[in-house]
Amino acid sequence: METSFDACPAFTRRLDQQRNNGITTMRANSARTDFKIAGIFSVVILILTAVPAQASWHNNRPFALAERQLLLIEMMTNSVLLAALGVDASPGLKSIHWSRGRFDGILKDLRAGNPHLGLSPTTEPAILETLDRADLRWQQYDLIFGEIVKSGKVSDAHIDALAAHHANTTDALKKMIDSYGFFVYGGRYHSMLSTTINGTGRLRAGTQRVLRSLMLAAYHEYAPEQRQQLAEATKDFDQTINGLIEGNPERRLLPAATREIRGELMNVFEIWTEVRPILERAAAGEAVTKKEIATVAQSANKMAVPLTLALIMYLSV
């Protein structure tokens, strides 16, 4: 609908200025070129390290880096599950070593600042409180990764430990992200634009959530609890991607603010419709093959690319 592109007129005007300067197009073309050359797992490094150069990005940078932490921890968890299931799509346990170091480094940069990243030290007590809690949960979660890397294999005990601590760890990260968003946007629910930006970042991590839910269901032979979690993750992703495209007042999501953002979200939707039947069958109790799990893993990473581009468009103005 044409009205979708006029949901945020001021935002649209600023993005038009960027488009006239070729900024958005150049970024999208560069990312897609790197994606084709580097392969599915190498492009994840691109997602985690690419940073726009605009001065307007400065205030959003801590929020964006905090948001990336959620994606990164989901990807580390899924690397373990892929290895445990013996799926060829697994990037290997060796990749966890790099990811652990990057995750830990970003937490330290958010706290102490990093001039090379344009980060100032975090001084707001409310943010520091959530940062402390996220750091504590991460250190506990990272002990499991450390054991896996040291042993070079994944055991049932490792999977059980990750499952037991995952919710507390990601909840702490979400609260940290919300605290940065509060001071960037003037409150989590300050505007529908802020919740739309937040929703875009959460959906990027959601690409890994549906994959994790699928693999846990397969690992536990489609037990009712894991099937229910998969069904919920699938429903949430479906509602969120539709809400980001067309708008959803109940979720406080605006329609896609520009044609460029809508285009990236439609790319996500097209990939999503291809893999959703696999998730729905598994949630219904039907066993899926390793090849199908590999397909979902590849698609999850593919969807993260246009979601990153959409998030950058929202945050760069």
HEC assignment per residue over 149-212: HHHCCCCHHHHHHHHHHHHHHHHHHHHHHHHHHHHHHCCCCCCHHHHHHHHHHHHHHHHHHHHH
In angstroms, the Cα distances linking 74 to 21, 78, 206, 209 are 35, 6, 9, 7
For residues 301 and 214, give the distance between their C-alpha atoms in angstroms, rounded to a whole number.
Answer: 15
Write down how long the chain is: 317
* CB burial string 113-147: b at 16+ within 10 A, e below: bbeeeebeebeeeebbebbebbbebbeebbebbee
Residue pointed to by tokens 């055991």: 155
Instruction: Report helix, strand or coil for 129.
Output: helix
- Structure confidence at residue 57 (pLDDT): 45
For residues 237 and 183, give the distance between their C-alpha atoms in angstroms, rounded to a whole number.
Answer: 27
What residues contact residue 42 under an 8 Å CB cut-off, 6+ apart?
A: none
Q: Which amino acid is at 40?
A: I
Residue pointed to by tokens 């949901």: 7
* Phi, psi of 83, deg, nearest 5: -65, -40
Instruction: Report helix, strand or coil for 122.
Output: coil
Other CB atoms closer than 10 Å to residue 181's CB: what's the count? 23
For residues 138 and 26, give the distance between their C-alpha atoms in angstroms, rounded to a whole number.
Answer: 36
For residues 294 and 275, give the distance between their C-alpha atoms in angstroms, rounded to a whole number.
Answer: 11
pLDDT in tens, the chain (317 residues): 333 334 454 444 544 454 444 444 444 454 454 444 334 444 455 555 454 444 344 567 888 889 889 999 999 999 999 999 988 655 567 788 888 999 999 999 999 999 888 889 999 999 999 999 999 999 999 999 999 999 888 999 999 999 999 999 999 999 999 898 887 665 544 578 888 988 999 999 999 999 999 999 999 998 999 999 999 999 999 999 999 999 999 999 999 999 999 999 999 999 999 999 999 999 999 999 999 999 999 999 999 999 999 998 888 75
Other CB atoms closer than 10 Å to residue 150's CB: what's the count? 8
- Structure confidence at residue 216 (pLDDT): 94
The pTM is what? 0.82
- Structure confidence at residue 91 (pLDDT): 58
